[in-house]
Structure formats: C-alpha cells, structure tokens
C-alpha cells in the first residue's frame, strides 16, 4: 500500500512538472536581438515573429521568449578583480516568458551572459542593485555546485579571496564591492562571481538566432512599416511588459 502511494505521488509530481513546462520552439523561429556596448553592458532579447501572413503583422504580433541584461560593476569597486581579470559583471535582469519557461531558454540566456563576461575579461555575478527572485538564487547555487563547468573568481595572492566584501572589512582591496540592497527582505543571490570554463559553446546558437533576426529585418525594413529604431523601441517595450508579468 505504501509503495502504491509513493508511485502515485511520483506520477503526480511528474505530471505537474510537465504541465509547468512551456513551449520549446523550432530553431528557425527563434530570433535574437543583441545590444552590446563593449566594456560596459549588454542585453540579449530572444523573441519570435508573431502570427500573420504579412511581415508587418508578424512585427505587430511579436512575442518575447526571454531576455538577459548585464553590465560591468564599474562604479561599485574592484569587485573580485584579480588574476588578470577586471571587475565582475552582474546580471541586472533575466527572465523567460510564461509560455517558454523550463525548456532551456533561461540556461541559454545565462550562457550568453557568461560568454559576454569572458569576452570582456570578467567573471559574472548576480544583481548587486536589487533583490533577487528565489529561482535566481537556486540558479546561482547550481553554478556554485557545478565545479566541472564553473569556477569561482578569486583575487590575487596572497589573499585569494572568492567572496565579495560589501563593507570593506577584509584587508584585500580587490574584493571590495558596493551593493545597494537597503530592504531587509532583499538579498544577493550569490556573494561570489563565476567563470564559465567553456562559454564558447553558446557562440553557435547565438549566431544562428542573430541570423534569424537579420533575415526578419531584411524582410521587414524594406516595407517601410517601421524603421530599425522603431523596431528596437517596440521590442524593448514588449520585453519590459514580459518582464513585469514575470515578477
């Protein structure tokens, strides 16, 4: 009887997990708009063309898949500089839409962030300007536990510090890093910065999804329906709405 109950609970758990999964789209339907300011910040927005036979309708009905926004911690301090690396970059915001959750897009977006961090000679950490959602805390804990894929950034010898010093209490100046969490209920998702050991694995999907985006632009812009600037404005507005729905 006990074994039967365990199996029933397990089946219910698997069913609930499956129901909570979103839609993984065919690769040719996923577009990526990357906005990068070298040495400063970067944003990656995944989206799909909307429904409609006309390309103008596909623009009007665009759907956000998810996005990640990251920037260098340039004013907050050295932030675990060392061993040839500059200050860490932090993930200011990341989300996937409800329609596309739990199917790998979140991991892909983090991968893009780790790649851009490495290209800027930096490690990656969680948001230091605002509190963090529980699922983000869980994600950063996964990075910490996956030592085969990720390593923790350290300062130079003799200190070899791998944890941010938010209050300047350690003798190592290179671990100093300001955080702006004032609310007692807010917390950093992690007090470490991480280095993906092989973020180049994300270059291929990034290039493929950017090519899908460029193909869309080649069809849309000649119609005169929108300019490239108007396209970006609309995409940002849709991404902001999607992010707020996620909170």
CB neighbour burial string for 6-44, b if at least 16 within 10 angstroms, e if fewer: eeeeeeeeeeeeeeeebeebeeeebbbbeeeeeeebbbb
- Helix axis angle for 203-220 and 228-246, nearest 10°, is 130
The continuous run of DSSP H or E covering 32 comes out as strand 31-37
Whether 17 is in a domain gets the answer: no
Separation of alpha carbons 31 and 191, rounded Å: 33
Question: Would 19 be classed as within a structural domain?
Answer: no
Residue 158 in domain: yes
Domain membership of residue 6 (yes or no) is no
Helix (H, G, I), strand (E, B) or coil at 58: helix
**Residue 225, in any domain of the structure:** yes
Task: For residue 227, give the CATH number of its domain.
Answer: 3.40.630
Segment-wise mean pLDDT, segments of 10 residues, the chain, 247 residues: 50 49 92 96 98 96 97 94 96 94 94 98 93 82 96 97 95 92 69 97 98 98 97 97 82
- Chain centroid to Cα 53, Å, comes to 32
pLDDT in the model for residue 16:
44
Query: What is the number of structural domains in the chain?
Result: 1
- On whether the CB atoms of residues 137 and 94 are closer than 8 A, the answer is no
Residue 152 in domain: yes
Residue 24 lies in a domain: no
Domain span at 123: 31-246
> Is the residue at 204 inside a domain?
yes
Specify the pLDDT at position 134: 78
C-alpha distances in Å from residue 200, one per residue of 37, 135, 137, 163: 19, 25, 24, 26
Contact at 8 Å (CB) between 159 and 169? Answer: no
């Amino acid at each position: 009887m006990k074994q039967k109950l365990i199996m029933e609970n397990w089946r219910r758990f698997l069913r609930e997990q499956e129901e909570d999964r979103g839609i993984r789209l065919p690769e040719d339907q996923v577009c990526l708009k990357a906005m990068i300011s070298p040495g400063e910040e970067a944003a990656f927005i995944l989206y799909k063309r909307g429904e409609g036979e006309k390309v103008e309708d596909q623009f009007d009905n665009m759907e956000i898949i998810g996005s990640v926004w990251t920037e260098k911690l340039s004013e907050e301090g050295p932030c675990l500089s060392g061993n040839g690396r500059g200050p860490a970059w932090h993930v200011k915001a990341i989300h996937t839409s409800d329609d596309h959750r739990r199917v790998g897009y979140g991991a892909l977006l983090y991968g893009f962030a780790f790649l851009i961090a490495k290209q800027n000679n930096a490690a990656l950490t969680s948001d230091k300007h605002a509190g963090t959602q529980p699922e983000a805390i869980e994600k950063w804990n996964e990075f910490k536990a996956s030592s085969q894929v990720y390593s923790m950034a350290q300062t130079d010898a003799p200190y070899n510090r791998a944890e941010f010093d938010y209050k300047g209490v350690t003798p190592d100046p290179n671990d100093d890093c300001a955080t702006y969490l004032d609310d007692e209920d807010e917390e950093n998702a992690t007090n470490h910065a991480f280095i993906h050991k092989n973020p180049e694995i994300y270059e291929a999907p990034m290039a493929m999804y950017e090519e899908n985006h460029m193909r869309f632009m080649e069809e849309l812009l000649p119609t005169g329906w929108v300019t490239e600037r108007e396209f970006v404005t609309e995409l940002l507005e849709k991404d902001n709405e999607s992010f707020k729905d996620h909170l």
